[in-house]
Amino acid sequence: MVEKVVWSKEAARERNEILAYWNERNKSNVYSMKLLDLIRNAIETIKLFPEIGIPTSRPDTRLKIVRDYFIVYKIEKERLLILSFWDARQDPNQLKNIILL
C-alpha cells in the first residue's frame, strides 16, 4: 500500500490554477470544493489500488479520470507521485509530452 502522496510542482500548479479558474468563473468555491473532494477520493483509491489507473505508453505511468481531468501518476515503492493534473479538454498532444517525460 502507498503511504505517501507527493505532488510535483507542475501538478500542484495545474490543480491550483484549475481550482482558481472555477472559483473565479462561478464567483464561489462550492464547485472547487466538490472537485477537490473528488480528487482526494481518487487519490485514496489509487493508494489502495495503484493499478486502477489507465496504463500509458510508459509502464510506470498511469491515468486516473476525475470528471474532465486526468491525474497522471506513477508509483515509486511506497510513494504515489502525481506528475500532472491535466484538463482532458486540452490538445491531446500536450498530454503525450507529459507522459513521455
Reading the block at residue 54, the C-alpha cell is 489507465
* The three grid cell numbers given for residue 75, joined into one nine-digit string: 508509483
Assigned C-alpha cell, 66? 476525475
pLDDT digits (tens, 9 = 90+) for 50-97: 999 999 888 889 999 999 999 999 999 889 999 999 998 887 777 766
Q: Delineate the domains of the chain, giving CATH numbers in brackets.
A: 4-99 (3.30.2310.20)
Specify which residues 66 forms β-bridges with. Answer: 69
Q: Would the pTM of this model clear 0.85, i.e. be above it?
A: yes
Q: Contact 71/42 with Cβ under 8 angstroms?
A: yes
